[in-house]
Each structure stands twice: as C-alpha cells, then as structure tokens.
Structure 1
Amino acid sequence: MLECADGHSIMEVSRRLRITPDTVRTWRRRFIERGLDGLCDDPRPGVPRKITDADVERVIVKTLEETPKNATHWSTRSMAAATGMSQSTVSRIWRAFALAPHRSQIFKLSTDPLFIDKVRDVVGLYLDPPEKALVLCVDEKSQIQALDRSQPVLPMMPGVPERRSHDYVRAGTTTLFAALEVATGKVIGSLHRRHRAAEFKKFLTKLDKEVPADLQVHLILDNYATHKTPDIKKWLLAHPRFHLHFTPTSASWLNLVERWFAELTQKKLKRGVHRSVQALEHDIRAWLADWNEHPRPFVWTKTADEILDKVAAYCRRISDSDH
C-alpha cells in the first residue's frame, strides 16, 4: 500500500517487492473497500481452536518446572495423562517451543586455575600461528582394542542393515600416538603396545626427525603425567626448538587431534573386526597413510573471547539453578 501511495504501478510494485501482480491487486482492492481493516487477515476456515493459550502455558510450565512422580522426565504419554490433553497436542506444543524432555547433554567445566591463560594460548596458536614454526596437536589414543565378533558379520542387504553379534572376543590392545599438523591436516603417527613416558619420548624423537630442522615446533597436548616426567623435561632441554602448550584440565575438546581421533574411530575402528593386534595395527597404519595422501585440516573458528563468554554463561546458569 505504501508503494502504491507513492504512485508506483501494480506491475512495478510487483517487481520491486518480488510478489505476484495478483497479490498486489488483491490487497489494493481490500484497502480501497475497507480501509485499514481490509489489511487484516479474514477469518480462516476450519475447526475452531480448542487448545487455549492457558493450556499451552500449563504444558510448558509443567515441562520446565516439574517432573513426573515415577520417572526422571516427561514423555508425551505421561504429560498427556497429567494435563488431560492428547499425546499429539503435547507433541505439537513441545515442537513449537523446541522442548525435548527425552534428550539430555553432559558437560564438564574445567577447574584449572590457569584456564583463561591456557585457552588464550592454545586458541592463539590456532588463529595466529607463529612464523617459521609448525603447530602440532599431540595426544595418545590408548587401549585401542582388537575385537573379533563371536559370530560372522552378516552383510547388508536391501532393506536389512549390516548385523554383528553383540558379544566379541578381545585379542589385545595397542596405543596410537598422533600429531596433527594444524595448517595442513597431515598426521604423524606411531603405534606402541604400552603407554608410558618412554613411548612418548620415542614419539618426540620421531617428530624431531620428521619435522624440518629449521622450524620451531609448538606442541599442543594435555596434562597427562607421561608428558611431564623428569626424563621428558630433560629431553626438551636438549631440544630447545620444541615448545609445549598444555590445554586446561578437563578440556580435551580444545585439542584438534581429538577431532581426528573421532574420524578414525567412526570410519575404521567402531565397526572393524580384528583377530589380532597385528591386524589392528596394520589397518590403522593403512588408514593413516590414506589420510595423509589427501589430508583435510580442521579449521578452528572460535576466538578465545567467544569460548570464555560461553563458559561464563554456563557458570551463570549453574549458579542460578536451584538444582
């Protein structure tokens, strides 16, 4: 109506507002016939609304502030019984307000007294890496089990997913030491049967050999005890180009190599069948080699301030909670 009042034609208004000419004609006619009242929606056909705003509010309040007597959370069936509404009505209300009582998430806040400093240090390496240096995310995936199913795996068929027996036979374990190059996504890996400072020292020696000698090396890693033994500290003193940056305690999500471990687990280990540790290690080495042929870096986007603001919001929610 404002466009028409400015003297634009129906076709020009249609083009400017990207609507059909018939729509422009309809609202022009309604405004001419009834004035401002004509711009309001006409009553729509259908069954009159039975669920009032008060009913909706009652379901929402009950969902957020109460729990059923015999369960830890509401279901559509229990909420329907408690409110006298149908399950479909409860389901529609929950969907409209994005409520999902059946779902829950877990979190763990770091109690590291140097949490803020460590977050800024690690995120700074991701977003603004130093020149003439290599940033590597280092960690160990320990106790990787070689599992063989007690019955043969039944292959996928049309309409039937792959099926594996619930029980399995353990054939031993191995540990993967991995260093993810932040810039390129390439991974340097090493497999060991044990998980001690001695194996970590061997892995550091391997990194020293494979990283060009003219580059400084910044390692992002967690606070595991094997990373801080006197022997490791002595090795670091003898190799001054290595610089260690520790993530805060209980903050493994800050280490990008954990994302790579998730890829390995999901795509190779979770559904893998291995009758020996040797077979498991062979598959891991093959997967690692294949990854390095076409590496894909994981791009960090969150700033330190954004992370700290989100943690602060969690802390406020916890302090304001009655639970």
Structure 2
Amino acid sequence: MELSVEQAAELRELANSRDVPADLATRARIVLWSGEGRRRKDIAELLGVSLPTVDRWKTRYSQRGLAGLEGDRPGGARDQVPARVRARVIALTRMTPPACTGLSHWSTRELAKYLKRTENVSVSWHYIARIWREEQLKPHRNGTFKISKDPAFAEKVADVVGLYLAPPGGAVVLSIDEKTQIQALDRTQPVLPVTFAATEKRTHDYVRHGTTNLFAALNVGTGEVIGECKPSRNGKNFLAFLKKAVKPHAGKEIHVVLDNLSTHTTPDVKEWLAKNSHVHFHFTPVGSSWINQIETWFGILTRQSIRRGTFASVNVLISQIRNYIDSWNAEARPFTWTATADEILAKVRLVQTNIKKLVANNSK
C-alpha cells in the first residue's frame, strides 16, 4: 500500500503517542508498516494480531483514512467539548501563528500547547486532528507564511522578483542558501512489538548517524544546481562555496539572491565582494525565505530523496545528495516564476487584513 509523506507522518505520530489507546496505536502501526513494504505475516507476528486483523485495518484506512482506524467503540460517551472551543480551534488553524510562537504553520501538538498556555483550554492533539479531518483543514499545505516585519519588505521583494522576471541582459542570477543539519537516519532498525511496551523500552524506527550541511546554488536561468556538503555552517565555508558557485561564470555580471544571515555578511565576505565588483548580493526580506528559489529546490530534494531515505552513515547521505544533484542537472529546467512584485504585495496586504479581522472577531 502506498502512503504519502503526510500520511506516513500522521500515522507515525499516532503510533508513537502516549495520548491514544493502545489498540488505536496498533492499528496505525499496521498501516504504517504496510506502507513501508513489510509483509503482512511479519506485521501480524510483531504486533501479535491475526492476518485478517492486518487486512481489516489496512482496508478501513484505505476507505476512510485515520477516521477508519478509530473503529466502532461500543458504549461510553463521546468527548464533550464546548462548541466555542471547536470554533476557536478552527479559527486559529486558519490563521498564521502569532509571531511569538516562531511557527510558520500549526501542527496539532503546537496548537494544543498554545491553547493551554494562552487560554487555559485543554484539548488533546488527537481531538484537534479529528477536527482538521472533519473540516478538511491542512495548515501544513495551505501555503501560509509568516508576515515579514522587515521595513524594506516592499523594496526587497521588488528587487528579487525583478531579477526573476527580467534579469539583466547577459547576466547570471544565482539563488543561494544552506540547508542545515540534514540528518543521516538509518530507518532499518527493528521496533519492538507494542505488546512489550509496558516492560521494555521501545526503540525508535531509526538511528541517527550524524548530520551534514548542504550549501547549494540554483542557476535561475537554467535550473542547474551546484551543491556541496560541509560539516559546519559558517562564514568561511560559505565564502568557499560562493567562490565555487561563481567560478563557472567568469567574465559575466553575477547577481546572487540570498538571505541576510550573519554568515553571508562576514568581514571576509565583504572584503571579497569589494574585490569582485561583478558579483552583486540581493537580500530577501527578513522572514521571507519563500521568495528564494533555492528553497523550492530544497523542498523537492527533501521529498524525493531525503525524507524517506535510509542512510547508514553521513557519507552515504552525502553520496545520495550528490547523486540526486547529478540526476537533476541531467534534465535541469528553470522554475517558472509568474508572480509580480505588485501581486505578492497585494496578497500580503490581504493576508494582513484578514488576520486583523479574525483577531477582532475572536476577541469579541
């Protein structure tokens, strides 16, 4: 059975949660392990259930999703939560999280903790997940973003988008950033049956072997990517990678889109820029990494190569990343950027207006 990344994440969270009944966690693990390609016979033996039980919950999940795993629970009253609490959960889900949370979007656990911390409302993350399923709310896929408070937001958006839509003639535009702390996870480690949980400490589904930091540059005009893995993220490594990224374009004007991190503006970097006047930095607004095209490529890399991969060491992970970059460049195509600066700014103003209205309505 095929599972999407989001489905696998939901099932894993359910299977490992202490807040749900053991039978529900077992059903989630049945579906999760089936999605990972384990044999039904092995699943049945590990969990201490029959083969028909494995088949039943796989079928229920394919028909009704997570709701199908809840089963038909005879007796007992359903959770009685006031309607106003349900309405508050829905309203908050549809809003960008407050800046004080540091979140770009809600997860069920973070929303539950926020309600308890700020409003003294106690609901489980499982209850919130059920509301999201019933209301078809998917905040992690809504494209929400944290509103930037950069005073030069409009100017920076116009500058970067202008490079995408109308790059200077003969110039090269590079989108550069670092994807930090990529974990080498070995997901082949066995998980003890849930029936042993009361007497033995269960292992995780994976073992961490270390991390690496990927420096990458996307050629906005061609879609080609240059990447290099480093053990640490600092100004020295950034400058070394920057020199490597611009070297193939000697003799051309080079415009570099990146965010204004301290590692991008060290004295050594500034000194190098002064000596290489053909290289120009264009900084994205604070809190607006979504406008940097390399972030789109990082997302593709994560979904297609890293998230579900199995890496026995950091070197294996680095080799996988290099192979992916080579494969990408074999058929590289540039991303098509269509949104103008005015359209982006108009959308941001609309989001700000809607947030203010929601806050005003919820405070009444």
TM-score range, shorter chain: 0.5 to 0.7
For 2:137 and 2:218, the matched residues in 1 are separated by: 37
Deviations 1:279-309 (A, max 9, x none): 1111111110111111021110000110011
Q: CA deviation at 1:100?
A: 3.1
Q: Does 1:100 align with 2:100?
A: no
Instruction: Read off the aligned partner of 2:334 and give its amino acid letter.
Output: P
Q: Is the 8 A contact 1:122 1:220 kept in 2?
A: yes
Q: Is the 8 A contact 1:73 1:102 kept in 2?
A: no
Higher helix share: 2
Q: Does 1:258 align with 2:295?
A: yes
For 1:273 and 1:227, the matched residues in 2 are separated by: 32
Aligned with 1:179 (options 217, 223, 238): 217
Q: CA deviation at 1:152?
A: 6.0
Alignment of 1:190-201 (within 5 A): 190-201=228-239
Long gaps (5+) in structure 2: 1-81, 91-133, 192-202
Q: Is the 8 A contact 1:179 1:187 kept in 2?
A: yes
Q: Does 1:290 align with 2:321?
A: no
Could you state the TM-score of these two structures normalised by the residue count of structure 2?
Answer: 0.58
Q: Is the 8 A contact 1:146 1:173 kept in 2?
A: yes
Q: Is the 8 A contact 2:188 2:310 kept in 1?
A: no
For 2:227 and 2:333, the matched residues in 1 are separated by: 16
Q: CA deviation at 1:320?
A: 2.7
SS of 1:249's equivalent in the other structure is: coil
Deviations 1:5-62 (A, max 9, x none): xxxxxxxxxxxxxxxxxxxxxxxxxxxxxxxxxxxxxxxxxxxxxxxxxxxxxxxxxx
Q: Is the 8 A contact 1:73 1:101 kept in 2?
A: no
Instruction: Read off the aligned partner of 2:343 and give its amino acid letter.
Output: E
Aligned with 2:350 (options 313, 319, 323): 313
2:70 corresponds to = none
For 2:232 and 2:213, the matched residues in 1 are separated by: 7
Alignment of 1:73-112 (within 5 A): 73=89, 100=135, 102-104=137-139, 106-112=144-150
RMSD: 2.2
SS of 2:175's equivalent in the other structure is: strand
SS of 1:176's equivalent in the other structure is: strand
2:255 corresponds to = 218
2:316 corresponds to = 279
1:9 corresponds to = none
Deviations 1:159-190 (A, max 9, x none): xxxxxx95311111111111101111001111
Alignment of 1:1-323 (within 5 A): 68-69=83-84, 71=86, 72-73=88-89, 100=135, 102-104=137-139, 106-151=144-189, 167-211=205-249, 213-321=250-358, 322=360, 323=362
SS of 2:244's equivalent in the other structure is: helix
For 1:150 and 1:186, the matched residues in 2 are separated by: 33
Deviations 1:73-127 (A, max 9, x none): 47xxxxxxxxxxxxxxxxxxxxxxxx93744455310000000000000000000
2:105 corresponds to = none
Using a 3 Å threshold, how does the CA distance of structure 1 residues 70 and 127 change in structure 2: closer, same or farther? closer
Percent sequence identity over matched residues?
48
For 2:233 and 2:89, the matched residues in 1 are separated by: 42
Could you state the TM-score of these two structures normalised by the residue count of structure 1?
Answer: 0.65
The total of aligned residue pairs comes to: 222
For 2:137 and 2:227, the matched residues in 1 are separated by: 40
Using a 3 Å threshold, how does the CA distance of structure 1 residues 73 and 318 change in structure 2: closer, same or farther? closer
Using a 3 Å threshold, how does the CA distance of structure 1 residues 317 and 205 change in structure 2: closer, same or farther? same
For 1:278 and 1:101, the matched residues in 2 are separated by: 41
Q: Is the 8 A contact 2:184 2:211 kept in 1?
A: yes
For 1:237 and 1:169, the matched residues in 2 are separated by: 45
Q: Which has the larger radius of gyration?
A: 1
Q: CA deviation at 1:318?
A: 2.3
For 1:100 and 1:282, the matched residues in 2 are separated by: 42
SS of 1:142's equivalent in the other structure is: strand
For 1:114 and 1:70, the matched residues in 2 are separated by: 38
